[in-house]
Structures are given as structure tokens and as C-alpha cells.
Amino acid sequence: MNMNAAQALVKTLVAHGVDRIFCVPGESYLPVLDALYDTVRIQTVNCRHEGGAGLMAVADSKLTRRPGVVCVSRGPGAANVSIAIHVAEQDAVPLIVLIGQIERKDRGRGAFQEVDYEKTFGGMCKGVWEVNKGEDLSAICANAFALAAAGIPGPVLISMPEDMLLDDASGPVAPFAAQPVPAPRDADIEQAAKLLAGAQRPVVIAGTSLASEDVDLLVRVSEAYRLPVAVGWKQQHLFPNRHPHYAGHLGFNIPQAHMETLQPADAVLALGSRLGDVTTQGYQFPTAPRPPQPLIHVHPAREVLGAVYQAQLAIQSDCGAFLAGLLRHAPAALPEERAAWIARTHGYVEELMRWKDPQADDGVVYGAVIEALNRLLPPDAIVTHDAGNFSAWMHRYFFFRDRQLLIGAEAGAMGFGVPAAVAACLRHPRRKVVCLVGDGGMLMTGNELATAVMFGAKPLILLSNNGSYGTIRQYQEKKYPGRVVGTRLANPDFAALARAFGARAWVIDDSSRIAPVLQEALAADGPALVEVKSSLTYISAFTKLDPAAV
Ligand SMILES: Cc1ncc(C[n+]2csc(CCOP(=O)(O)OP(=O)(O)O)c2C)c(N)n1
């Protein structure tokens, strides 16, 4: 059958299991759009901004653990999608970025919307290809899929000159090549089991490479070995937070006292964590490069092991396979000290997460909304969140449980929350999806509410409106007290705005309205927004502004 390169590309995407593409259309890749018209296997989700489209693809990949795909136009479209490329790189998310390019004959002449993608994105992408012969596109696409998912996953970019897409490409379509799954050696498992069983104060740090499907296995291992489990930055769904072995979330600004409960550990198992600077509190726990206690570092990517930490035992392995191996060596007896150690690590966290219901004069303390969510969210809810201080309340006071999932950008990109919620609704239409976002982030990508409406996605957006780029205001107040500049916000009527998009909307301006409004909004069968008039004084879950300064 005769095919042009664009048609071969779409067939290759189908062969790689792609069922959804996020895009903003462009004249530079019309043949690809036309090939998408012909397939029922891929849903084309056209978004309102390439940043939103790219972040949806990133979130979709976090949900499926397969590469996300975004397709954008050359030049301006490419520039707009760059935030998603950055997040994919930082969060180690496999992302396929398809970008239109000017015609081959005009390359290097500074033609209309020409960009040298290798120069512009080479530093963030694992690979950048410009396809000069249509017959090569399918094979390059297959290579891109393999590279995006290999080792430390990340973004790859394929630049598609407009005229190349119409080249004949009638040859065979490149098939999907499954990635090898690294398995642990028996000797390594035995050594790890011995170390963990013999330690008096062991702790696990669970990170992103642990699949949410393997959480039950982690719980069983934690129980069999009596191991406290702390979770890495934005990974609270990797261990049930009410479990007596939960040792807390290692995110930004955790209290020094929390670190002090963990530092006496005499063995650390880093499970699927890259042990980045946020999780390790600036490489302090465990201490880089060689911690005082034995470190067992388990990660599927060879490149992670030894890059920063010199582990006593470095094991390249899939996390689930490693846990299954540990379970086979579960100890018959454990040191007596474990009980006190578990009580101490978990006791601290329970107290840290205990809601004390503070009241503010200048609005609702956003933590009270989080506290109510604890009671109201269904056990399989998905929580997406943007970057900002409102999320600190969730990090501190929300207890993840059952199948609840947290999807955030470790890269700290504002604008992630709403697109991620749209992607989550499309992927899991029967699960309740709640997006936490601030007034700052809402006006960065909140326009994707239009995409939600168009594609039948039904997120509930919980917007914390404190009239400020609050996080920066907090830093400002700390470093330059009283000199407020660049952080105040004049906001629209968010409820009216949401209604204009076709969503239902509520406003909470008093804490007595939190539970009834949330109940109604959670029951809504359509996109919805709840604007919380948040206190600026209670600027974060850990710090308060001087009311005189507000
Ligand atoms: C795209 C992007 N731009 C800027 C920043 C820096 N930044 C981090 S948090 C923040 C303010 C967030 O404000 P808002 O969404 O209102 O939430 P709040 O902190 O007030 O709760 C800013 C500007 C960022 N992380 N990402």
C-alpha cells in the first residue's frame, strides 16, 4: 500500500501503542493531522496552548508509564512546548515531541518560523532528530520511543520538515521493540535481605521508579521486614500514609525535626529513587557521596547508580522484581529495637500531619480544605497539583490511601495542575480527579478548561486564591521584609470565568462552607471549580506571614 511519511508515522505510533496525542495544530504538519483523520486508534486532543498540550502528554505518561506524545507547530509552537520538555527531563518522563519544520530547501536561511531544534533543545532532550528523508521517519520514530524510555527516561524530539511528510514511505512500518526489564541477581537480593533484616533502624526511601501497581508489594515487604518507609518528593501515593510504618514525605521545607527522626537510621534502602536534592534535603539524608550508614540503592537505570551516591550495594533492577525477591527471603526474626524505631519515625509524622484547625482573619486557611478532602475523596481519586504554597498544605495534611494517586511536576513548573487533571480525566474517566492550583498557576494554563469541556473531561479544580504569587511573597518576606514587589495579583472573578467555560463553580469564603461546597462539587457530573478565598497570612503549611505585613 502506498503511504506518505506522515501516514507511516501515524502507523508507527499505533504500532507503539499510542492511543492519544495532545496537540495544537500548525500548517507545518498538516499531513500528520490528515493521517490522524484516517485512524480511529488515536484520539487527537487539540489543546489551547502548546504548554498545556505538552504538560498533558507528560501527565498522561506518568499515568500510563508509557511515552506521552505531543505534536506542535514549528517556531512559536515549539517555543511554547518547551516547558513540557523541561518537566519531562527533570521528572524523567518519556516524552515524544513531534514538531513541524520549514521545508528542507530553506533550512539555514532564517526562513519564516525556522528553529534549529538541535541547538535549542539539545540540552534538555535525550535525542533530537531532523528527518530529511520520509522513508526514514518510521524507523526514527521507533528509535525515539526506545530512547525516551531507556535508562533514565526523558524527552526526545523529532523535527519534521513540512515537505518531507509527503515523501513516499511505503516500506514496512518499524515495529515496537520491548525494553529489557532489569532483574536483580540472587546474590544481591540475599545481601540486601541480610542487611535489612539485621539493621536496628532501617528506613526505605521510595521513589518514582516504583510503579503504583507495586505499592502492595512494598507494603508486604515493609511488614515482613518491619521497615519504616519514607517517600520521595511528590510521591506520597507510594505508601499508605496512615500505615504505622509510614515515615513521611521528603519534600521541600520539611522540618529539621523530621530529618532528625530519620538521621539515626543504620541502613537505608533507596528504592527507585534517584535521590535528588529535594528528596535528600540537599544531599544530607542520606549524605552524599558516601553516607555513614550502609546504602542499598535499587534503580532500573544503570546511569543513576553511582552517579551521586556510592552505595554499599548498588542493584540495577526493576523495583517490583527486587521487592518480590526480598519477600522470598523474609526473615524469621528481627531485632527488638525495631518496634521503638517504627514508633518514633511514624509517631513524629502522625503528629506533623495532625490538623490543628487554625483560624485566620483574612480568609480561609487552605489546610482546612485539604483536611476536609481527606474525608471526602474516594479511595481511587487522582490528585493533580500545580506549583505553589497551596500545595504545601496537601503535602503536609493529606493522607494518601488505597488507590489514590498524586500527579505533580517534580520540576516545580507552574501550569502543570490543570492540564494534568484534563489528561487524568481522559485516561480514567470513572475516577474522581481533583486539581489543586493557585491563582497564579490557574491563569497560566487554566484555559485548558476549554479542552476539558470539549473532550468531556470532568476535573474538579480547587483553586486557592490568596491574591498573590504566594510562594515568592514568602521568600520575599524572608529575604527582603516589607519590600513587596512583583508578587501581588489582581484577579478575575474565577467562578464567573469557570462558568464562562461551561463549568459549574462555587466560592468558599468562610470555613463553615468547606464541607458542604466540597460535597456538592465532588458530586458534580461535569467540570467544576471551587474558588477558595485563602488567607495570605497563613501563606504556607509551615510558615505564617506577620498580619501587619499583609
Ligand atoms: C512556570 C513557572 N514560573 C514561575 C515559577 C516560580 N514560582 C514558584 S511558585 C510561584 C507562585 C505561585 O503562586 P500561586 O499559584 O498563586 O500559588 P501560591 O504560592 O500563592 O499558593 C512562582 C511564581 C515557577 N515555579 N514556574
> What does the pLDDT look like over 345-387, one tens digit per residue?
999 999 999 999 999 999 999 999 999 999 999 999 999 999 9
The pLDDT value given to residue 77: 98
More confident residue, 437 or 548: 437
**From ligand 1's centre to the CA of 466, what distance in Å?**
12
Confidence of residue 547 (pLDDT cuts 50, 70, 90): confident
Q: Compute the 3-state secondary structure of the chain and give helix, strand, coil in percent, each to the nearest 5.
A: 40, 15, 40
**From ligand 1's centre to the CA of 388, what distance in Å?**
5
Cβ atoms of 95 and 154 within 8 Å: the answer is yes
**From ligand 1's centre to the CA of 386, what distance in Å?**
8
The pLDDT value given to residue 253: 79
Cα(356)–Cα(354) distance, integer angstroms: 6
From 83, 389, 531, the mutation candidate for ligand 1 (largest count of ligand atoms within 8 A of CB) is: 389
Closest-CA residue, ligand 1 atom 2, reads 414
**From ligand 1's centre to the CA of 60, what distance in Å?**
23
Q: Helix, strand, or coil here: 445?
A: helix
**From ligand 1's centre to the CA of 409, what distance in Å?**
13
SS3 sequence of 480-528: CCCCCCCCECCCCCHHHHHHHHCCEEEEECCHHHHHHHHHHHHHCCCCE
Closest-CA residue, ligand 1 atom 1, reads 414
**From ligand 1's centre to the CA of 428, what distance in Å?**
28
Closest-CA residue, ligand 1 atom 13, reads 469
Asked whether the bond before 184 is cis by omega within 30 degrees of 0, the reply is: no
What is the per-residue pLDDT across 465-492, written as a single tens digit (0 to 9) for each? Answer: 999 999 999 999 999 999 999 999 999 9
Model confidence, pTM = 0.98
Nearest ligand 1 atom to the CA of 474 is 19
**From ligand 1's centre to the CA of 98, what distance in Å?**
28
Grid coordinates given for 175: 515495529
Q: CA-CA-CA-CA torsion for 138, 144, 147, 149, nearest 10 degrees?
A: -100
Cα(196)–Cα(190) distance, integer angstroms: 10
Distances (CA, A) of 247 to 144, 150, 222: 39, 31, 11
What is the per-residue pLDDT across 188-222, written as a single tens digit (0 to 9) for each? Answer: 999 999 999 999 999 999 999 999 999 999 999 99
Nearest ligand 1 atom to the CA of 366 is 21
Residue corresponding to grid cell 502543570:
416
Rounded mean pLDDT of the chain? 97
What is the per-residue pLDDT across 152-166, written as a single tens digit (0 to 9) for each? Answer: 999 999 999 999 999
The pLDDT value given to residue 401: 97
**From ligand 1's centre to the CA of 474, what distance in Å?**
11
Confidence of residue 83 (pLDDT cuts 50, 70, 90): very high
**From ligand 1's centre to the CA of 213, what distance in Å?**
32
Q: Helix, strand, or coil here: 288?
A: coil
From 393, 414, 537, the mutation candidate for ligand 1 (largest count of ligand atoms within 8 A of CB) is: 414
Cβ atoms of 16 and 145 within 8 Å: the answer is yes
What is the per-residue pLDDT across 303-340, written as a single tens digit (0 to 9) for each? Answer: 999 999 999 999 999 999 999 999 999 999 999 999 99
Any residues with Cβ below 6 Å from ligand 1, and which? 387-390, 412-415, 438-441, 464, 466, 468-472
Nearest ligand 1 atom to the CA of 471 is 19
Other Cβ atoms within 10 Å of 468 Cβ, number: 25
Looking at the chain, the whole-number percentage of residues with pLDDT higher than 70 is 100
Let me know the angle formed at the C-alpha of 50 by 44 and 54, rounded to the nearest 5 degrees.
Answer: 70
**Up-side HSE of residue 324: CA atoms within 13 Å toward CB?**
10
The pLDDT value given to residue 135: 98
Grid coordinates given for 146: 526506545
Sheet holding 246-249, edge to edge: 246-249, 229-231, 202-206, 267-271, 295-299, 313-316
Beta bridge partners of residue 532, listed in sequence order: 464, 508
**From ligand 1's centre to the CA of 168, what distance in Å?**
47
Work out the average pLDDT over 15-38: 98
Work out the average pLDDT over 95-108: 97
Closest-CA residue, ligand 1 atom 9, reads 388
Residue 515, Cα to own-chain centre: how many angstroms? 28
From 461, 471, 544, the mutation candidate for ligand 1 (largest count of ligand atoms within 8 A of CB) is: 471
The pLDDT value given to residue 179: 87
Nearest ligand 1 atom to the CA of 413 is 26
**From ligand 1's centre to the CA of 475, what distance in Å?**
11
Cβ atoms of 374 and 349 within 8 Å: the answer is no
From 472, 488, 538, the mutation candidate for ligand 1 (largest count of ligand atoms within 8 A of CB) is: 472
The pLDDT value given to residue 549: 77
What is the per-residue pLDDT across 387-416, written as a single tens digit (0 to 9) for each? Answer: 999 999 999 999 999 999 999 999 999 999
439 burial class (0-12, 13-18, 19+ CB within 10 angstroms)?
buried
Work out the average pLDDT over 420-426: 99
Grid coordinates given for 206: 521510595
Nearest ligand 1 atom to the CA of 441 is 15
Question: Nearest to residue 418, comparing CAs of 399, 404, 439, 403?
Answer: 439
Which segments of 207-329 are extended strands (E)? Answer: 229-231, 246-249, 267-271, 295-299, 313-316
